[in-house]
Each structure stands twice: as structure tokens, then as C-alpha cells.
Amino acid sequence: MNVLKEWIYRLRGEYTTEKLISMGMKVGKNFGRLNGVILDPSHCWLIEIGDDVTLAPRVHILCHDASTKTFMNYTKIGNVTIGNRVFIGAESVILPGVTIGDDVVIGANSTVTHDIPTNSVAVGSPARVICTLEEYIQKEKERMKSAPVYDESYTLRKDIPMEFRLKQKEELDGKIGYVD
């Protein structure tokens, strides 16, 4: 573990994934944790995350809920289990006691208060299932047939030139596109 990285995270009041794993959190392979994700450090051993999971920026996974503390002198706690091949959109919150199945997409800014079954797309606050993953992917494949599609040269991974940025911005005016 890089001591400097650990120190920087602690200075910001955050924990590295490696530190949380050393404290008992379980994480599968190909885990993507983007900027600002909070994985409940006070009860991280209650978190289990499968393979090929991406947590978009500012996702919060909470295993405790202190809403009862003032009134009952107890805090609610519960396991959070996330299956394989799951994408959780930006600024979503997963609450204690929730299980998310395999092959699931959680839309941005959702609050997951109850279990989400395998092969689902769920959105909203509270999150509710709106379709199967297959239905969602099929809809996007159809949409992609008439949408602008860009290769990796149109990303920061390939240092996109300003000319490409302006072209992409113009082509996407009022519509959705796709990038590799």
C-alpha cells in the first residue's frame, strides 16, 4: 500500500479501497470506484461487492442509518450486497440491508431502499425497477443505429484534440451519442 496515498485519503477524511478491504470489506475483480465514492468505513465489513462492478462518482454505500439514534439510542445496521456486472450511477445512495442482484443498472441519483432483482434497471428515489437489463440494452442498441457514434479518439484517454471536441459538441446538440 502506498503510504502517501493512504495519508492523502485520510487527510480528506476518506479511506482507500485497500484499507477498507483490510478492515473486512469484500470486493471482487474489476472493481471501479470513481471519484468521491463513500463506502461506509464504520461498518465496511458488512459490504460485499461482486465482480465487474462500477460505482460512478459520489455513490454512497451505507451499512448504518443513525435516524433512530436520537429516539431509540440505537443505530440501524445491515449488510449491503452487490452482485456481479453492476453499474451504479452518479450520486446514488445504497441503504443498509439492500441486496442488488447480478446484471443490474442503477440510474444516477437513485436511492436504493430495498432489494433490486437480477437483470434489472432501477431508477428514482426510492429506486424502482423500470425494465429488464435486456430491454434497456435493446432500446439503446436501436437508438445507437441513428445516433452519433465515436471511437476512443474522442475521449480524454486519447487526448482528444479541440477540433474533435467542437465537432462532437455540435453533432450532439439536442441528441444522445455513444463513445467507445
Catalytic status, residue 64:
yes
Instruction: Report which DSSP code applies to 129.
Output: E
Order of strands, edge to edge, in the sheet holding 127-132?
32-33, 53-55, 86-88, 104-106, 120-124, 127-132
Q: How many Å apart are CA 36 and CA 91, to the nearest integer? A: 9
Rounded CA-CA distance 139/73 in Å is 48
Is the Cβ–Cβ distance between 119 and 101 less than 8 Å?
Answer: yes
Report the relative pairing of strands 76-77 and 64-65 from DSSP bridges.
antiparallel
Query: Which residue in the list 43, 60, 64, 114 is annotated as catalytic?
Result: 64
Q: For residue 122, give the nearest of 105, 138, 109, 134 by alpha carbon.
A: 105
DSSP 34-89: -TT-EE-GGGGGGEEE-SSEEE-TT-EE-SEEGGGHHHHS--EE--EEE-SSEEE-
Catalytic residues: 64
